[in-house]
């Protein structure tokens, strides 16, 4: 049994680690630096400590790690840091990206090979109310977001396959592959777009951006608010970006909708067009320039530009 303490100020990580039968979590997640020393005094047989650089306290992280090693020479340390941060561990501890999923964190603890995403790879999961157009959005996003880089659409709902008349492991176009079964995050794709109605732990752990589509009428807004409350219990709210889809002249004013959802980041609206029917009937072979134009500012925000 691998004995672990966590000091990441995130009890959810602590709880997920408990689910592994080969891991024993010694205490609740530690919030303050001083709490680490209290646990180390109480429990001598600890194999790992997982620390976040952002844990509360006044001790510099290098000094904190040095003190931990003095109190327990055998303990192995995993330090969680923000994405682009570089720290010289000098071989005394393992530096890991804060955004690592729990599955790979467990693999590190067990000295197993982890599944690493390609540098700058983005996983985008499309969510939203039923019938709001998630599959069509996924197709257009894939065909508009990048012309040269490889893209994978994970079509768990199988709607995209039906629209495009695609078979398993087939292509929508030269650089866009489509698959209908859950797979591992593959490094040779710059973008992975997931179209699904079921949000699993693996999807939550690997997704960089959740795009939530909602409609512009009162009924759709009520449905969206209810669904968002459910999602924010399991998804980091900062990862959820809202788009008003199928927007028409009869929809509630866009500024009012943004105000209603002021707790979230609304990144754009897409106007309804009869050209979407043409797109479906032509099996999504070509995307109208007018439609692409509406996606352009949304894609810039997805890319972080």
Tokens of 234: 């399991």
Domain edges within the chain: 2-109, 122-303
How many whole angstroms separate alpha carbon 115 and alpha carbon 108?
10
* The architecture CATH gives domain 122-303: 3-Layer(aba) Sandwich (3.40)
Residue with tokens 């690592």: 100
Phi, psi of 228 (to 5 degrees): -65, -35
CATH architecture classification, 2-109 = 3-Layer(aba) Sandwich (3.40)
pLDDT digits (tens, 9 = 90+) for 105-146: 888 898 876 665 556 788 999 999 888 888 888 888 888 887
Q: Return the SS3 of 302.
A: helix
- 276-304 pLDDT, tens digit each: 555 554 555 566 677 777 888 888 888 87
At 243, is the pLDDT very low, low, confident or very high (cuts 50, 70, 90)?
Answer: very high
pTM of the model: 0.60
DSSP notation for 142-183:
HHHH-SSS-EEEEETTSHHHHHHT--TT-EEETTEEEE-S--
Which tens digits make up the pLDDT trace of 159-168? 655 555 554 4
CA angle 102, 178, 204 (to 5 degrees): 20
Do the domains 122-303 and 2-109 match in fold?
A: yes
- pLDDT tens-digit map of 6-37: 999 888 888 889 999 999 999 999 999 999 99
Question: In whole numbers, what is the pLDDT of the chain averaged over residues?
Answer: 82
Joined together, the tokens standing for residue 66 give 């040095």
Looking at the DSSP bridge assignments, the partners of residue 152 are 177, 192
Query: Each residue of 221-254: b (16+ CB within 10 Å) or e?
Result: bebbeebbeebeeebeeebbbbbbbbbeeebbee
Picking from 38-42, 90-94, 101-105, which range would have the lowest pLDDT averaged per residue?
Answer: 90-94
pLDDT for 256-278, tens place per residue? 999 999 999 999 998 876 655 55
Mean pLDDT over 216-244 rounds to 92
Tokens of 92: 């005394």
């Amino acid at each position: 049994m691998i004995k672990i303490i966590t000091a990441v100020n995130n009890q959810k990580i602590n709880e997920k680690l408990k689910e592994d039968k080969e891991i024993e979590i010694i205490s609740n997640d530690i919030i303050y630096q001083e709490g680490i020393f209290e646990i180390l005094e109480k429990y001598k047989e600890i194999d790992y400590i997982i620390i976040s650089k952002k844990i509360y306290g006044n001790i510099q992280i290098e000094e904190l790690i040095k003190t931990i090693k003095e109190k327990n020479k055998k303990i192995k340390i995993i330090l969680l840091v923000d994405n682009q941060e570089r720290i010289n561990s000098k071989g005394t501890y393992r530096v890991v990206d804060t955004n690592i999923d729990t599955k790979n964190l467990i693999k590190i603890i067990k000295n197993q090979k982890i599944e690493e995403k390609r540098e700058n790879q983005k996983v985008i999961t499309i969510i939203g109310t039923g019938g709001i157009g998630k599959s069509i959005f996924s197709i257009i996003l894939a065909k508009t977001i990048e012309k040269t880089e490889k893209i994978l659409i994970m079509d768990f709902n199988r709607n995209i396959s039906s629209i495009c008349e695609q078979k398993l492991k087939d292509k929508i176009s030269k650089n866009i592959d489509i698959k209908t079964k859950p797979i591992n995050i593959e490094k040779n794709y710059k973008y992975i777009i997931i179209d699904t109605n079921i949000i699993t732990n693996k999807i939550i752990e690997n997704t960089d951006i959740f795009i939530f589509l909602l409609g512009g009428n009162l009924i759709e807004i009520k449905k969206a608010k209810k669904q968002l409350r459910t999602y924010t219990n399991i998804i980091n709210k900062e990862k959820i970006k809202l788009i008003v889809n199928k927007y028409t002249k009869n929809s509630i004013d866009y500024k009012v909708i943004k105000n209603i959802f002021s707790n979230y980041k609304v990144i754009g609206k897409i106007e309804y067009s009869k050209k979407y029917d043409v797109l479906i009937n032509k099996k999504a072979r070509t995307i109208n320039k007018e439609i692409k134009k509406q996606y352009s500012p949304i894609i810039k925000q997805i890319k972080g530009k």
